[in-house]
Amino acid sequence: MPTFSQATLFLAAGTRLDWSLAVYVLVGMGIGFWSVWLVTRSIRREARKNADTLVQVARREAAVAAEEIRQKAAERIRKKRAALAEEFAAREIDTEVRLREIRAHEESLSLLDYQLEQRTERLNRELAAVRQTRDTISALSASVRERLEGVSQMDTEAMKRALREEVILECQDELRALRREIMERSEQELEMQARDKLVTVMQRLAVRQSYDLSATIVQLPSEEMKGRIIGREGRNIKTFEAATGVTLLIDETPQTVLISSFDPMRREVARLALEALVKDGRIHPATIEEFVKTAQTEISSSADLAGEETVTRLNINGLHPEIISLLGKLKYRFAYNQNVLDHLVECALLASMIASELGLDPNIAKRAALLHDIGKAAPAGYEGSHARVGAAFIKRYGETPIVVNAVEAHHEEVKPETIYAGIVILADTISAVRPGARAESVMSYIQRLERLENLANAIKGVQQSFAIQAGREIRVVVAPDAVDDDRAREIARELRQRVEAELDYPSTIKITVIREQRFTETAA
């Protein structure tokens, strides 16, 4: 049997074992908790990365799907716009044809009314003459009876005189009819001679037809260039359209860009600038503005050269340089789709040949006909119609009174003082009414766009405006120093109200007011 001391030792040993076991258990639990925590943390990190990856993939897929939807919607809108444009063009052509038919009927009715009035007046005059003649004959018959009562007392000479007077009275109607026949025959002969001279002159002049043109095509070296022209988020094409006032149409046509604008000078500036940009290869907003300014300078020089070439071609001497420069600017102006400079050259040649046929000085007629529409390009400061403006302009630079009157009277706003004014009127009429010379539908379209721009330019604070998209949009650039953001918003609202009140237009017109301020410094 164990002793007390042995039992004590045994209990002490058991107690130490229990403490050691507890310590081991706690340490094991701590290690296990730490391991579980690390594993859980790793799993959470992996799950978070997977979730971020899934979110990014979902966003990309949503962006791609949204872009596809946007492109499909844009394609549907483009097709719808094209269909509407075709329908509008067809309706406009049909309306134009009907208007021409109505005008033709009105002109024929007016001619018939005029002829009826002339015939009525002639019949009234003849009836009055017959009544007067009848009264005269009655009175003379009475006097003759009185004279015959004393015929026995008349001598031979007195009887001859009385008989002669009666014969004259009886033949008055026949003499009047004979005189009218001779006068009408003379007028017909003069008209036939005038027609022969005009036909001879027109047969000697070869002219070209005019075509409806409101777009210019620019060829590109590759399809990749289209993307560079558009630029990131379309900033390049927006800058180009804002600087030139044209619309760039980039479609599926290979290696081709279409420049659309109703203003020929804007189209030419845009064409030169775009060709230079494509050739240079550096296409961004800064170079676009630089090349547009260069193109505008080239167009100004080209206009001066066109004026010099025109004067040299017609062999006209002594014109002031300012008049020659203004003539060159008419190269980029059109009237009813007829180039104004070509029209002036044609009129000058016609007037010269007509004057030669009539035995007059062809140089004076040619000079007056060349200058008759110069008022269409006259600078600001002149008021009135283009005929009066042109006459005032050339008078300022030393043209003779004959030429000044011919220019001022070519629309018969003032009385022609010389036969040269009549020759200019005749040449202008022949050039305008010949088949293929003018297209009225295009001119009415251009006038509508010009009126839209003029409405915008008339608002205080507007620097310039551009009508684009066939008149469905107008972009207005305001002076940033004179117009703040609130005023720009008011300008947009004011222009909308003016357009709605003063213009007739199909569909809708989008108004965009641009206020841009730049600060430039140069470090030397």
| pLDDT tens figures, 11-41 | 555 566 566 777 777 887 878 778 778 878 7
Do residues 416 and 406 lie in contact, with contact meaning Cβ atoms separated by under 8 Å? Answer: yes
pLDDT tops 80 at residue 404: yes
Identity (one letter) of the amino acid at 114? Y
Q: Phi and psi at residue 409, in whole multiples of 5°?
A: -100, 5
How far apart CA 295 and CA 268 sit, in angstroms, is 8
pLDDT of residue 39: 79
Top-confidence residue, 475 or 136: 475
> If residue 258 lies in a helix (H) or strand (E), which one and from where to where?
strand 256-260
Strands lying side by side in the sheet with 256-260: 215-219, 256-260, 247-249
DSSP run (H or E) holding 476 = strand 473-478
489 pLDDT above the threshold of 60:
yes
pLDDT beyond 70 at 104: yes
Residues 237 and 233: their CA atoms lie apart, in Å, by 9
Residue that wins the pLDDT comparison between 141 and 391: 391
Of all helices (H) and strands (E), which one includes residue 511? strand 510-514
- Helix 440-457 vs helix 4-149: angle between axes, to the nearest 10 degrees? 120
In this prediction, residue 263 carries a pLDDT of 74
Q: What percent of the chain is predicted at pLDDT more than 90?
A: 0
Residue 416 neighbours by CB under 8 Å, 6+ apart: 405, 406, 409, 422, 425
- Please compute the mean of the pLDDT values over residues 442-449 and round it to a whole number: 67
Distance CA 431, CA 358 (A): 19
pLDDT at 381: 62
Question: Model pTM?
Answer: 0.46
DSSP characters over 156-222: HHHHHHHHHHHHHHHHHHHHHHHHHHHHHHHHHHHHHHHHHHHHHHHHH----------EEEEE-S-
From CA 372, how far away is CA 383, in angstroms rounded?
Answer: 16
The whole-number average pLDDT for the span 458-477 is 82
- What's the pLDDT band for 336 if we cut at 50, 70, 90? low
Token pair belonging to 185: 């025959």
Residues with Cβ within 8 Å of 371's Cβ and at least 6 positions away in sequence, in order, are: 323, 327, 344, 390, 394, 399, 403, 407
Cβ proximity of 416 and 422 under 8 Å:
yes
As a whole-number percent, the residues of the chain with pLDDT over 70 amount to 78
Q: What is the pLDDT of residue 464?
A: 84
pLDDT (tens digit, 9 = 90+) per residue, 284-303? 888 888 888 888 888 888 88
Residue 210, pLDDT above cutoff 50: no
**What mean pLDDT comes out for the span 170-189?**
64
Q: Which of 233, 77, 494 is nearest to 511 (CA)?
A: 494
Predicted confidence band at 118 (pLDDT cuts at 50, 70, 90)?
confident
Assign residue 380 a region (left: φ > 0; alpha: ψ between -120 and 50; beta: otherwise). Answer: beta
Least confident of 51-65, 179-193, 351-365: 179-193
Query: Which tokens sit at 242?
Result: 């804002």
Residue of 155 and 517 predicted with greater confidence: 517
Q: How far is CA 509 from CA 123, 234, 266, 512, in A?
A: 58, 22, 21, 10
- Report the alpha-carbon distance of residue 266 to residue 260 in Å, rounded: 9
Interatomic CA distance for residues 82 and 324, integer angstroms? 43
Which residues have a Cβ under 8 Å from the Cβ of 419 and sit 6 or more positions away?
358, 360
Share the mean pLDDT of the chain: 78
Q: Is the pLDDT confidence value at 207 over 60?
A: no
- What is the structure's pLDDT at 211? 44
Per-residue confidence at 440, pLDDT binned at 50, 70, 90? very low
- Section 230-257 average pLDDT: 82
Average pLDDT, integer, range 366-377: 86
**pLDDT of the residue at 106:** 77
